[in-house]
Amino acid sequence: MTSINAEEHLYEMLKDFSTAMLITTDADGFQNARPMSIAELKPDVAMYFSAQRGSPKVKAIAANPAALVTFQSASEYASLSGKATIVNDRALIERLWSESWRVWFPGGKEDPDLILIRFDPSTAEYWDNSGAEGLKYMFEGLKAYLQGRQPAVDPEINAKVTLGE
């Protein structure tokens, strides 16, 4: 097994994603998932998304800030649990503004309906089957299958991470 910093590995894995699934729970207890473009991912894996002030996701966060954000590619997966908050910081909106947002915010960065959602994860789990480690795990899995046992999992492939400590 290799010695790695799981929090750093998680950030390195997530920094190339441009979209994530944000899952919230509405006032009636129903969970809703929607793809969200990542406005910024910080090294501590806190992140920002743009949103419309009166949208169902913003109402859900106001009722229950507990949220889940998931990431998936062909060989990398992550699930982060934490808290979402609504941010109406115009300087931050100005800094994070992307012209692609104009589709939803025709008034640009000054659009009064444009706010941000900040997601602060407290726990995460990732599965990274990319590169040589993924191939190594595939062979370890095949070997374990043939021997009738479960494969050993290297923290470069799978780890649970407690964040914000």
Confidence class for position 1, pLDDT limits 50, 70, 90: very low
Torsion of Cα atoms, 111 then 33 then 44 then 130, to 10°: -120
- Which residues of 9-149 form beta strands (DSSP E)? 19-25, 31-41, 47-52, 66-72, 76-87, 114-128
In this predicted model, what pLDDT tens digit does every residue of 117-161 receive, in sequence order?
A: 999 999 999 998 875 565 565 556 556 566 777 666 556 678 889
Quickly tell me which residue has 């910093």 as its tokens: 5
Q: Is the pLDDT of residue 90 over 90?
A: yes
Q: Which two tokens stand for residue 105?
A: 């915010």
What pTM value is reported for the model? 0.85
